[in-house]
Chains A and B, each alone.
Chain A
Amino acid sequence: MIDTVALSCQELVELVTDYLEGALEAGDLRRFEEHIAGCGGCTRYLEQLRATIRITGTITTDDLSPEAERTLLAAFGDWARR
């Protein structure tokens, strides 16, 4: 990509993860920030991505079943007494 060409919105949304991971090289980072500063749609997209990450972090799922846990603890007991 030539350094002076501005990003389109369609290109920017594909760079959001690299941006959040700090993985953009200097030229892309500058274009990213310049675009975001003047684009309401992309600003909202970035905000929603951040909200997604925040909410995902609050999920709890997939507990170990009691019988699987009993099996493993019994195996651990046998192992510890070996």
Chain B
Amino acid sequence: MEQRDSELVAALRAGDEAAFARIVREWHPSLLRVAQIFVPSRAIAEEVVQETWLRVLGALERFEGRSSLKTWVFRILVNTAKTRAQREGRVLPFSALNDPGRIPEAAVDPDRFRPEDDERFPGHWSSPPRELPEERLLAAETRRHIAAAIDALPATQAAVIRLRDIDGWTAEEVRNALDITDVNQRVLLHRARAKVRQALEDYLAPEGKAS
């Protein structure tokens, strides 16, 4: 167990409410995203997160620190969410998580490239990425568009981009928490980032306007 992790576990076991409140707040958005992979609505995902924390408290004395506390909490969340999804009679999107490569998905619209039978440059850009105005990249409005683009992603992709690019998790942490392979983690991240980039281009440099 990492030093900070063991201190955190000790604080929780000693009944330190501030320490508990901090992780409950800090991990909430990510827990919610991951729960939404399995259950059909945001409201049920909220309930799953609540139930997860109660289970975490119930099991905390038995936590041995073989994984990080965070990974352990997310594993409990995934199990809780799967159980809840079964109760809701929902067909689990196992393939979306465990075999995303089975359904091909292009990072960029194929129409933006020259056709395969092009005589000189098959597969090269016919409509290259449009220039983005640098000064608007970090505007609040741009961030809202990106947040909306993430909300519109399939739940598995939204969860992976959230954990990697907002929370700054490593690929390995995401793999462990979601119990997916290295390749599938990358496929999901790739698709998520490609769509968010497209949304950024569509918003900041809409087609048909000179950049």
Contact = CB atoms under 8 A, between A and B. Distances in A.
Contact of B166 (A21, A44, A57, A64): A57
Given A23-B186, A75-B54, A75-B57, A59 B20 contact: no
A18 B143 CA distance: 25
Nearest to A42: B125
Contacts of B54: 75
Interface string B108-145: 10100100000001111100110110000110001100
A72 B123 contact: no
B19 to A, nearest CB: 10
Contacts, number: 133
Interface in B21-69: 21, 24-25, 28-29, 32-33, 46, 49-50, 53-54, 57-58
Contacts of A51: 132, 137, 200
Given A41-B125, A79-B58, 18 more contacts: A8-B113, A9-B113, A10-B110, A11-B123, A42-B125, A45-B108, A49-B197, A51-B137, A51-B200, A56-B146, A61-B29, A64-B28, A65-B46, A68-B50, A72-B53, A75-B57, A79-B15, A79-B57
Interface of A: 8-11, 13-14, 16-18, 21, 23, 39-42, 44-45, 48-49, 51-59, 61-65, 68-69, 71-73, 75-77, 79-81
25 contacts: A9-B124, A10-B124, A11-B123, A16-B107, A18-B190, A40-B128, A41-B124, A45-B128, A45-B129, A45-B197, A48-B132, A48-B201, A49-B194, A51-B200, A52-B146, A56-B146, A57-B165, A63-B28, A64-B24, A68-B49, A68-B50, A71-B50, A72-B50, A75-B57, A79-B58
